[in-house]
Structure 1
Amino acid sequence: MNIFKQFYKSIYSPKDIASFRFQGIGKTILYVFFLTFLSILPAIFYLNTMLNAGIESTKSVINDDIPSFTIENGTLSADTDVPITVDKGDFSIFVDPTGVITNEDVEDKGNAIALLKSEITVAAGGRIDSYSYSMMEGLTLTKEDFIDIVDTVDGMKGIIIPVISIFMFLVSSAVSFIEVSILAWIGLLLKNLAGRSISYRHLWRMAAYSVTLPTVFFTIMSALNTPVPNSFYINWFVEILILFLAIKEIPNENTNIEN
């Protein structure tokens, strides 16, 4: 069965997921990479959209609507006593030296860039990434420097987007493999609950396919730019439930012996 048919079957069939436990580990690893690539497509699309549509408006906003600011010693300071939010269509810019605005506030805006008190946060396609100013230890960044950076980004979009996309893929892949491994460990408890005998290596293969349905769901929500409340708990609940149902599809050895 090819990877695309496995993908389709894994969306709705715990019985097929159970049957995949005997396949080669290489094919299962390839499937995890495939799911990871699928899951980051909306973020890559919105990243591209944000860079292309947002750079000029960003320069305009920084020049006309945002006060002078300085990032020094890991902290943002600005000529304002209140947070500033500038909305430009589907793109928003925050400047907050007060610490009032949170990453959740930025995420709610969908596509946004935020200069917060101790970090810069970028939200795109339902995904949010934060980078602490402490990473720039010894470096001072001002409003004028930021405009120069935006100009540089504008001229390097053809390089930046592929590089960031590859970085996102590598990081997301690492997270996916960790998630599948944890789910497989949970499967060791589930197999005892279901009264089935199955090894960890087989559970790992099943876990890789059990994450398909929530991955598809959250990818669609990300593509629609729609945040899902309690997404972490929903994701794990569905994954564990599907893995448990798949384990239940494995014949009980004791029953087979009796028969």
Structure 2
Amino acid sequence: MNIFKQLIKSLYSPRDIAKFRFQGIGKTIMFVFLLAFLSMIPAVVQVATIGESLFSDGEELLLNELPAFEVVNGELQSESGTTESADSSGITFYVDGSDSLTTDDLLIDEAAVAFLSDRIAVSTGGGVQEYEYSTFEGVKISSEGIASLLSSLEGAKFIIYFFILAFIFILLAGMLFIKATVFGWIGTKFAASLERKLTFRHSFRMAAYSSALPAVFFLITDLAGSLIPFPTLISWFVTGLMLYLSIKEIPKPKKRAQS
């Protein structure tokens, strides 16, 4: 059975997940990479959307529609004492000259990039990532500097996209392997309580396939723009539930008859 058929089976069939425990580790690793690729699709959309907006309209926004600003000693200095914003391709850009904008305010927008008093905040897919200006020590951050940088990097934007997405893929794959390892150990405890015989290596394989349902679910909700609360908790709970149900499908070892 190829990994795409295994993916479909893993969404609804604990019995098939139990059977997958006997396959080679190489195929399981390929399956984890497939899940990482699927989980990365919303990030591909976000990077492409924000990137194209920045490179096509960013220079115009920074120089003509937003107030001039500069970061000095880790603090935003703006010629305007108010919070100004401008929209481009569905993305809202903010310069918070009044120090009144909060990260929660950014969640109202579908996508937003905000230059706050001491950090940059990027809002996409219902979440906000924050980067303090001190992280970019040695780099001059200003409206003119960023506009010039965007202009000079436009020819290499696809290379930039590649490295960003490669980093995201490696990060997602690593998280999935860690998750499978943790649930591989938990699976051996489930097996002991259910009186099933299960080694860690077999439990690891089952844990990897048990991660398919939450991965596909959150792929769909992210693409639909739905905000699901406590996504990590839900993902780990569903993975644990699928693993538990799969272990129950393993036959109990036969007891030897007493002579």
Same fold (TM over 0.5): yes
Q: Does 1:257 align with 2:255?
A: yes
Structure 1 gap ranges (5+): none
Offset of 1:167 from its aligned partner? 1.5
The question of whether the paired residues in 2 share the 8 Å contact of 1:43 and 1:124 is answered with no
TM-score by length of 1: 0.87
Q: Distance in 1 between matches of 2:9 and 2:206?
A: 13
Q: Distance in 2 between matches of 1:138 and 1:89?
A: 31
**Within 5 Å, which residues of 2 pair with 1:110-149?**
110-124=110-124, 129-149=129-149
Deviations 1:77-128 (A, max 9, x none): 33445544434452111233627422x5435523222223333233445665
Call closer, same or farther: CA 1:3–1:71 in 2, change over 3 Å.
same
Amino acid at match of 1:221: T
Call closer, same or farther: CA 1:6–1:158 in 2, change over 3 Å.
same
Match of 1:186 in 2: 186
Q: Distance in 1 between matches of 2:100 and 2:200?
A: 46
Offset of 1:51 from its aligned partner? 1.9
Number of residue-to-residue matches in the alignment = 256
What SS does the aligned partner of 1:12 have?
coil
The question of whether the paired residues in 2 share the 8 Å contact of 1:83 and 1:101 is answered with no
**Within 5 Å, which residues of 2 pair with 1:80-95?**
80-88=80-88, 90-95=90-95
The question of whether the paired residues in 2 share the 8 Å contact of 1:7 and 1:212 is answered with yes
Match of 1:64 in 2: 64
The question of whether the paired residues in 2 share the 8 Å contact of 1:108 and 1:227 is answered with no
Amino acid at match of 1:113: V
Offset of 1:144 from its aligned partner? 0.8
Structure 2 gap ranges (5+): none
The question of whether the paired residues in 1 share the 8 Å contact of 2:54 and 2:150 is answered with no
**Within 5 Å, which residues of 2 pair with 1:24-103?**
24-88=24-88, 90-96=90-96, 98=99, 100-102=101-103
Match of 2:164 in 1: 164
The farther-off stretch of 120-129 and 42-51 is 120-129
The question of whether the paired residues in 1 share the 8 Å contact of 2:62 and 2:144 is answered with no
Q: CA RMSD in A?
A: 2.4
The question of whether the paired residues in 2 share the 8 Å contact of 1:21 and 1:203 is answered with yes
Deviations 1:158-199 (A, max 9, x none): 211122111211122112211222222332332233332312
Match of 1:15 in 2: 15
